[in-house]
Structure 1
């Protein structure tokens, strides 16, 4: 017997959804009883084993020798997709890496359900790549190819915010005009959708989607911006050369702050360039700490600590940031207002995209009944507060921020493929 499912392959976390015999969507437990699995792989150098999700993060944090890969969705549609990643004696292309991760999700889903999964609706952002239709189409093709190679005979796509709307629709009593705000790890998508119990069963919902828009901004960008603003200056960013005539190069700090670019710093030439920068730097000790960090391959762990600080600011006005590198410690404090300042330009782009979504729909902000918040980045107060202020009269509904898209994709899969 075959089974259809919904696959939400996220920048930070992934889920697999299915619909039970009573028509209720649910997420399959993918790891240690959890319905979410971090979109992370760790290639162990010693045991030649590939670890996934939390287990991958655990291996990395334990100091095991190997290579951590995270935010792999971010390379879709970009030039980085064709790059190879050397892991031991083998070079993996990113389509291989995507396929390995999808195959693991499929295998775990089949182990839990006891059924073969061969039909899937895959979630996709409204835009994989901003303002580039050709690259966007190529990104979907790359993802579809990786999914099909793992044994899915039938593959369809649905926008992630539309999937969130399908999940939300199960709880509404009457018709509403909903703005779906889906702020994920790598992209932010917005959709204006009419939802109601009567519309839920329709095979074609095209007319209910008034407008969609998206921008390539998400949680990993927030991590990068916070790192560049508060942590990288502790490693020399913004300082000058000994002669005072120029600032130190910015590119290495950008690489260290960007998940899928960190591995570039571990190249021998990149390390030589950093050491050369250290010799020219007025604040050489800070740059030396940067060099030590790269030598110890602590880049991903550093940005993981930045991400943890960002999350902690959802509940605290200020957090103390501390990160050890050999005998040294990178220390600073981060306040909610500083986080807001670091993200101000990006939040402004989110606001502009929402305004464009409303304009495309031909309505006013006051016509929106509900603002549906989904995706982990909606938990950042600096973001959520400014979005709420755009539509003060709309009911704010917070969904299962990590699960609503997967459950909506499962509903769409049942509609298209059946059980």
Structure 2
């Protein structure tokens, strides 16, 4: 029985791959589910910690406490050296990541019925864009955490390369494949030559023609969708009495998963009260009151979940109607609702889509490959389903076959294959 596994610690969801003959590639991590949402909830009422779907359910049920999500986005940033307060105690962000990844390891071991001493960890092509030092620090931090929680030895593999290994296990002839991995925090791309004959070679460096990526992913789509359509309901875009804009920093923090908790401080509460007194327009006073109430109720993560819900629904529908029942103010007693059309999503995230498409073109150009030489585009990552984005990428290689992998599981499965080969 292999004591090696592949760990895909994702911004939004995590998986663990384990390669065994005639067995599923991924281990169940939450009842029968193969993914564990990368979420931790510290329940202040019961002084308990929950993870994944249970954590989200407890938070949405209204329990007092602290929700943490998109923790991977902290790697390589200055925040990683900081602390936050949960259950009345300070905890280092590094320990918070260790707590979640340790839970991921524990659940995988329970599911497999054995210990895992060795692991291949997935990593984005760039943790931090255009900063090699920060990128190195991010990987070293993740390696230290993995060793601290009990792994004896770890290796790293680029996430799109891991997805390539998963796809390679199902093909019958050689292909030049563009792997498009669009996850919660990053979009990564690799050009890889794959074949059944090459699958058993440990050193595949000669088959990797190009790698690239950009620090844009699904949480950024959520953020800009929220800023364009939801945050104006809370006063974004309004004016103060001196005709200057209402400060936008509160809205940007609320729209960004890993900075939501920054608006819950007493200092911000006092600032919001001062701003409210300086708004003369009745409509924007009403909207800003919603913001104050949202912050007082600590419903920022709920609002971010609603933005994510809208993005997901707009992948399959032309229009979505969001019920925003927790947005309240004295002047309006009816439930606040918001209709967002497909064009509204495209307008909000258009600049992100262009940057992602440019990253794809750069990978192909740097590899010295003509677009018409690419045989297949293999899509993976939960955010690759966003409508319009996939079409924009596919248009760069118009002659290539389009294949959709397991959007949430291909990377974990490929990491499991890589771990079995490396630690055989």
TM-score (normalised: structure 1): 0.97
In 2, the alpha carbon distance for the partners of 1:117 and 1:311 equals 34
In 2, the alpha carbon distance for the partners of 1:408 and 1:315 equals 28
Q: State the 1:331 CA deviation.
A: 2.6
Residue 2 of structure 1 contacts residue 116 of structure 1 at CA under 8 Å; is this kept in 2?
no
Per the alignment, residue 184 of structure 1 pairs with 183
Per the alignment, residue 120 of structure 1 pairs with 119
Per the alignment, residue 83 of structure 2 pairs with 84
What count of residue pairs does the alignment treat as equivalent? 416
1:133-181: CA deviation from partner (whole Å, max 9, x where unpaired): 0000101111111111111001000000000000000111111100000
Per the alignment, residue 4 of structure 1 pairs with 4
1:43-78: CA deviation from partner (whole Å, max 9, x where unpaired): 111221110000100110110111000000001000
Runs (4+) of structure 1 exceeding 3 A deviation are: 326-330
Counterpart pick for 1:411 among 405, 410, 417: 417
Residue 309 of structure 1 contacts residue 319 of structure 1 at CA under 8 Å; is this kept in 2?
yes
Residue 2 of structure 2 contacts residue 420 of structure 2 at CA under 8 Å; is this kept in 1?
no
Per the alignment, residue 387 of structure 2 pairs with 381
Q: State the 1:332 CA deviation.
A: 2.1
Residue 25 of structure 1 contacts residue 410 of structure 1 at CA under 8 Å; is this kept in 2?
no
Per the alignment, residue 310 of structure 1 pairs with 311
1:189-214: CA deviation from partner (whole Å, max 9, x where unpaired): 00000000011011110000001001
Q: How does 1:134-173 map to 2 (within 5 A)?
A: 134-173=133-172
In 2, the alpha carbon distance for the partners of 1:194 and 1:315 equals 32
In 2, the alpha carbon distance for the partners of 1:162 and 1:114 equals 28
1:341-366: CA deviation from partner (whole Å, max 9, x where unpaired): 11111001001101110011001111
Per the alignment, residue 290 of structure 2 pairs with 289
Q: State the 1:392 CA deviation.
A: 1.5
Per the alignment, residue 13 of structure 2 pairs with 13
Per the alignment, residue 352 of structure 1 pairs with 358
In 1, the alpha carbon distance for the partners of 2:87 and 2:387 equals 42
Q: Which runs of 5+ in 2 are unaligned?
A: none
Per the alignment, residue 69 of structure 1 pairs with 68
Per the alignment, residue 258 of structure 1 pairs with 256
Q: State the 1:25 CA deviation.
A: 5.7
Could you say what secondary structure the match of 1:77 adopts? coil
Most deviating of 50-59 and 324-333:
324-333
1:71-111: CA deviation from partner (whole Å, max 9, x where unpaired): 00001000111221101231111110111111111111111
In 2, the alpha carbon distance for the partners of 1:266 and 1:191 equals 40
Q: State the 1:328 CA deviation.
A: 5.8
In 1, the alpha carbon distance for the partners of 2:272 and 2:394 equals 43
In 1, the alpha carbon distance for the partners of 2:275 and 2:398 equals 50
Residue 25 of structure 1 contacts residue 411 of structure 1 at CA under 8 Å; is this kept in 2?
no
Q: State the 1:387 CA deviation.
A: 1.3
In 2, the alpha carbon distance for the partners of 1:68 and 1:330 equals 24
TM-score (normalised: structure 2): 0.96
- Superposition RMSD in Å: 1.2
Most deviating of 295-304 and 376-385:
376-385
Per the alignment, residue 51 of structure 2 pairs with 52
Residue 234 of structure 1 contacts residue 331 of structure 1 at CA under 8 Å; is this kept in 2?
no
Per the alignment, residue 247 of structure 1 pairs with 245
Q: Which runs of 5+ in 1 are unaligned?
A: none
Could you say what secondary structure the match of 2:108 adopts? helix
Per the alignment, residue 271 of structure 1 pairs with 269
Per the alignment, residue 332 of structure 1 pairs with 338
Counterpart pick for 1:369 among 371, 375, 398: 375
In 2, the alpha carbon distance for the partners of 1:153 and 1:251 equals 43
Residue 239 of structure 1 contacts residue 248 of structure 1 at CA under 8 Å; is this kept in 2?
yes
Could you say what secondary structure the match of 2:142 adopts? helix
